[in-house]
Amino acid sequence: MIITALVTPYDEKGKIDYKKVDELLSFQEINGVDGVVLFGSTGEGMLLSMYEKYRILLICKKHKKLKMIINVGSNNTMETRKNIKRFSFFKPYAFLVVTPYYLLPNEEGIIKHYQCLEEYSDFPMIIYNVPSRTSIDLSLETIKKISKFKNIIGIKEASKNRYKLRSLSKLNSNDFMVFLGNDEMFVREDNEIDNIISTLSNVIPNAFISKDIDKINKYLEMTSLGGNPQMIKEIMCQKGMIRRDMRLPLIRLSEEKIYRVKKMMEEIK
């Protein structure tokens, strides 16, 4: 399953460009991806108001071929429950729920966090393990325990640990889907996981669907120049898809890096 972590486009005044949102969703739908994640780190979800999120969700609902996955996670269990209640109206395919960052709960606390949420939700949930952003790395044993909860249907695993990914691939099934959370892991020769929640599929969805490893690798070379969503927005900007702007505290790439991306893009063409 190919899922795109959708970016959030802005206009020249820093407001969300809802027309562009619709265009980006149409692009994903036409190119045949399975769905989109809304309001993740790629989509600058923590920088959007509730009103803005509602408007984006209303647009997304029109694109019926796309599975809608809504990021509702926070480090506050009760606040995450409120988000689940707020967004259940849109009847998502699933909610994406990141591990509770900053507070550094122990294993029992993390398990109870997800148990409390999955029992509360009327819709399936995908857990999100991203150690680089949360300082928490779910162990295999913890993931196995959480995977047994009725409403937990999968995990987005952003670890680069090959052993862990090989072990997780054995859990991958119709009842519990394992999604890669890093584009570079998708192209590794030893990768056994086909599901991915991708950033680069904002630009090259067909490459992920057809597993065009050479093309993906060419774009991956650029991503080392900056973070996310800075890099994907710059690439999309140079392709004429959106503006490169972001909201503070995020800022665009330096002029020197913008020039380097431009030269690399010219080589790809």
Choose, from 20, 156, 219, 233, the residue flagged as catalytic.
156
61 is catalytic: no
156 is catalytic: yes
Say if residue 177 is exposed, middle or buried (CB neighbours under 10 Å; 0-12, 13-18, 19+).
buried
- Condensed to tens digits (0 to 9), the pLDDT of residues 5-33 reads 999 999 999 999 999 999 999 999 999 99
The stretch 240-247 carries a mean pLDDT of: 95
The CATH code of the domain at 2-211 is 3.20.20.70
Answer yes or no: is pLDDT of 269 > 80.
no
Residue 105: name the closest of 130, 73, 128, 138 by CA: 138
Note the helical H segments in 18-176: 18-30, 50-61, 77-87, 107-120, 131-134, 140-147, 162-169
Domain locations in the chain as residue ranges: 2-211
Choose, from 10, 114, 128, 219, the residue flagged as catalytic.
128
| Number of other residues whose CB lies within 10 A of the CB of residue 170 | 10
In angstroms, the CA 125 to CA 114 distance is 9
Mean residue pLDDT across the chain = 94
